[in-house]
Amino acid sequence: MNPPATTYDRFPFVVVSQNDADCCAGWEQIRGMLFPAVRRTVVETYPGCDVDAIEAALLPVLHAEMILRSDDALLSPAELEQEFAPMMGDDRVFAYMERRTLQEFFDPQKFVAIQNQWKWARGSVVLIGTGAALIAQEWDRILYADLARWEIQKRQRAHRIGNLGMRNADASAAELYKRAYFLDWRAADRLKADLLPRIDFLLDTNEDAQPKMLSGEQFRHGLSCAARQPFRVVPFFDPGPWGGQWMKQTFGLPDGPVNYAWCFDCVPEENSLLLGFGKTCVEVPALDLVLYRPRELLGDFIVGKFGTEFPIRFDYLDTMQGGNLSLQVHPLRQYIREQFGMDYTQDESYYMMDTGDGAAVYLGLKENVCPEEMERDLRMAQQDENAPFPAEKYVTAWPARKHDHFLIPAGTIHCSGKNGVVLEISATPYIFTFKLWDWGRLGLDGRPRPIHLEHGLANIQWNRTAPWVREHLINRVSQITAAKHWREEKTGLHELEFIETRRHWFTGSVPHDTCGTVNVLNLVEGDAAVVESPSGAFPPFPVHYGETFIVPAQVGAYTVRPAAATEKPLATLKAYVRESVD
């Protein structure tokens, strides 16, 4: 079966240069770019990179008389386990978000020993591995071998890699991801942020057979180009126990998975960014842009509030011809801070891109629900597979139609029902979802998915019943501005949430302005639109139905118009951070 024709671009890229020579592809070209050799070379690697393969490929041109490996200075797996056990805990999903550094992964004596070998080496020497730059401190040349988060997850699922220093590649994918998310990646990113302005070369190691390399100058130039214009990150798609068929058909996804449940369409912490150099694209984590150009991308206000974190997330949840999502609740801000060390929580909303027969969103409690009775039934459902939780008895199921917008502040019980396609707009701590009931099914791995009943019960806001939900959380649409060819509507989010959303219906050009803060938009109606700069500051940027795109804070004024003359209105949904956020 061939995928249907689609305009959705699965591999968007930022044009940086038309010159193929600005980028090397393949080890042979890379080795040529590194000639001649220098005396002291550092190869810093992101956790998950294949250090053995990188070393073997580069040694012929580096002509090293001594090879040093940073992993020889790491604490033993048992020592690492003991060091980080308090923050990691024993939950399958969650840990405590502590500010750990790569320095804490190393044995102090081994660290100093390798540092001295590096410092006093007389001939040419190479130091390679995660934390190599931390050990070396000084060098003649430094390469940074990078790897996208989604590629890391695929390698974890294939049991190709373990966690930093742990030799645990045979652990479950969930265990590997949890440790990487809370520990390895956080520590590595702190060092990366320090190195990005200084690296001499960026090595893209996402494709084993076709690595690519840029000079540090070209890499930083590419990130700066992205920060000056609208762009898209590379979406990725994943199946799930409740997944549907809409994205496969609408976005032209390949056959293979039984369904597609999720699409991360704008989650820069997880997505990649493609930088185009002639006919070659270099793939880097989108987080590199956040770390290197935070103020240009996010704006001063967001950086002051959230640091180098991209606070807005757009993703798809597809249950068309699928099943219900898990019944869930997200933690209140005080709870997530006290229990998990996070400064903000996952407030969110469901924007309905499409609906089928019987589509519904479960949102809020019914009136006169007895909390003790509901808790008893939830516990019984976890203990006895023959006693399913009667969700319809306690939770209100609201009919859902295309373009409905359901607001879901933290503490509100919710889930999307079957036969719906949700564009989920939320704050970014997406891992903190407390499942209360999963409809008695297994995950795709054949195991029950984790239920976090104690956390969930501690956060349910029992006063958010049907009347309150109807008044405050469903289709809170109000018109803001109207002109001849367009109108602007406020669609949310709730006053308890820090993200604002605006919908624009248009048949002509719509004026927008970032007002110094990052904007995230999706074309929720219409085939194609064009984003333009009134001053010509960036080239016209085409977007197609269902595509999410980012407009950096420093762009300022921009317009969005239909790609072709039309009498039928198009629509975008725009999200940004309110300046009044606490």
Measure CA 382 to chain center. 31
Can you read off the two tokens belonging to residue 470?
A: 């109807």
Q: Are residues 62 and 199 in the same domain?
A: yes
For residue 374, which of 354, 394, 346 has the smallest C-alpha distance? Answer: 394
Model confidence pLDDT, tens digit, residues 23-58: 999 999 999 999 888 999 999 999 999 999 999 999
Can you read off the two tokens belonging to residue 172?
A: 């479950």
For residue 148, which of 72, 211, 60 has the smallest C-alpha distance? Answer: 211
Q: Are residues 73 and 219 in the same domain?
A: yes
SS3 132: helix
pLDDT at 370: 97
Judge whether 290 and 299 are in contact, CB under 8 Å.
Answer: no
Residue 150 has pLDDT above 80, yes or no: yes
Residue 251 has pLDDT above 80, yes or no: yes
The mean per-residue pLDDT over the stretch 171-189 comes to 96
The last residue of one of the domains, among 472, 502, 528, is 472
By residue count, the chain amounts to 582
pLDDT at 3: 40
CATH assignment of the domain containing 134: 3.40.50
The mean per-residue pLDDT over the stretch 85-106 comes to 94
Rounded Cα distance, 63 and 78, in Å? 35
Judge whether 22 and 218 are in contact, CB under 8 Å.
Answer: yes
Q: Are residues 53 and 89 in the same domain?
A: yes
Can you read off the two tokens belonging to residue 240?
A: 């799930």
Q: Are residues 272 and 320 in the same domain?
A: no
Whether 415 is covered by a domain: the verdict is yes
Q: Are residues 65 and 112 in the same domain?
A: yes
Residue 240 vs residues 92, 136, 431, 454: alpha-carbon distances, Å: 18, 44, 15, 24
For the chain, what percent of residues have pLDDT higher than 70?
99
Can you read off the two tokens belonging to residue 467?
A: 């009347």
What DSSP assignment string belongs to 60-73? HHH--SEEEEGGGG
Residues of the domain holding 468: 295-472
| DSSP H helical ranges for 184-278 | 185-195, 216-226, 246-251
Q: Are residues 204 and 78 in the same domain?
A: yes
Can you read off the two tokens belonging to residue 29?
A: 């070209």
Rounded Cα distance, 308 and 298, in Å? 8
pLDDT band with cut points at 50, 70 and 90 for residue 5: low
The last residue of one of the domains, among 472, 505, 525, is 472
Residue 551 vs residues 235, 480, 489: alpha-carbon distances, Å: 16, 21, 19
Residue 539 C-beta-side C-alpha neighbours within 13 Å? 8
Q: Are residues 272 and 331 in the same domain?
A: no
Residue 259 has pLDDT above 80, yes or no: yes
Judge whether 275 and 13 are in contact, CB under 8 Å.
Answer: yes
Whether 384 is covered by a domain: the verdict is yes
Say which range, 99-113, 320-334, 335-349, 536-550, has the weakest mean pLDDT. Answer: 335-349
SS3 485: coil
CATH assignment of the domain containing 386: 2.60.120.10
Q: Are residues 50 and 21 in the same domain?
A: yes
Q: Are residues 222 and 301 in the same domain?
A: no
The mean per-residue pLDDT over the stretch 523-539 comes to 97
Q: Are residues 386 and 434 in the same domain?
A: yes
Tell me the pTM: 0.96
Measure CA 390 to chain center. 34
pLDDT at 2: 40
Range list of β-strands (E), 458-569:
478-482, 486-492, 499-506, 510-513, 519-525, 528-532, 541-544, 548-551, 557-562
Question: Within 10 Å of residue 340's Cβ, how many Cβ atoms?
Answer: 21
pLDDT at 1: 34
Sign (positive or negative) of CA dihedral 127, 131, 136, 138: positive
Three-class SS of 275-295: EEECCEEEEEECHHHHHHCHH
Q: Are residues 272 and 312 in the same domain?
A: no
Whether 544 is covered by a domain: the verdict is no
Domain count, the chain: 2
Whether 208 is covered by a domain: the verdict is yes
For residue 152, which of 244, 12, 271 has the smallest C-alpha distance? Answer: 271
First to last CA, the chain: 51
The last residue of one of the domains, among 444, 472, 500, is 472
pLDDT band with cut points at 50, 70 and 90 for residue 580: low
Q: What does the mean pLDDT of the chain come to?
A: 95
Question: Within 10 Å of residue 481's Cβ, how many Cβ atoms?
Answer: 13
Q: Are residues 73 and 210 in the same domain?
A: yes
pLDDT at 58: 94
Judge whether 579 and 500 are in contact, CB under 8 Å.
Answer: no
The mean per-residue pLDDT over the stretch 420-446 comes to 90
pLDDT band with cut points at 50, 70 and 90 for residue 431: confident
Question: Within 10 Å of residue 550's Cβ, how many Cβ atoms?
Answer: 25
Judge whether 128 and 51 are in contact, CB under 8 Å.
Answer: yes
Give residues with Cβ within 8 angstroms of 383, minimum separation 6: none
Whether 434 is covered by a domain: the verdict is yes
Whether 150 is covered by a domain: the verdict is yes
